[in-house]
Homo-oligomer: A and B are copies of this chain.
Amino acid sequence: MILIDYNDKRPIYEQVVERFQTLIINGALEPNEKIPSVRSLAIQLSINPNTIQRAYMELEREGFIYSIKGRGNFVRMDDQLMEKQKEKCLGELKQRIQMCQDLGIEKERVLSKVFDVYGEGES
């Protein structure tokens, strides 16, 4: 379910955070579903429990999960959070488009990338 890429320059806890974010956003993990305990996931990935703990802390802070002492960590995903994530992603997208323009890249080349992903059709 969770994989760590040791060639990735980013810290492990950040990789774990991102992986869970994806799983939750995709719906692979459903609301109120229990996710692995700090210790069990640490053993499974053979990394230190503190690292998982930190990842879970981050996920809770961002509103992706909630934790209950003595019980475990559970998925929290509501529409409000979803929309917030979309806004964030679109903001970063715009920033990158700006960089393309600064580089003198033509509008057509940018649009073609959109079509590469979304297809040429009506949506």
Contact = CB atoms under 8 A, between A and B. Distances in A.
B117 A114 contact: no
B100 A90 contact: yes
Q: What number of copies of this chain does the assembly contain?
A: 4
A98 B117 contact: yes
A21 to B, nearest CB: 10
Given A86-B105, A96-B96, A100-B89, A6 B114 contact: no
A105 B90 contact: yes
B113 A86 contact: no
Interface string A98-110: 1111111111111
Interface string A55-73: 0000001000010110000
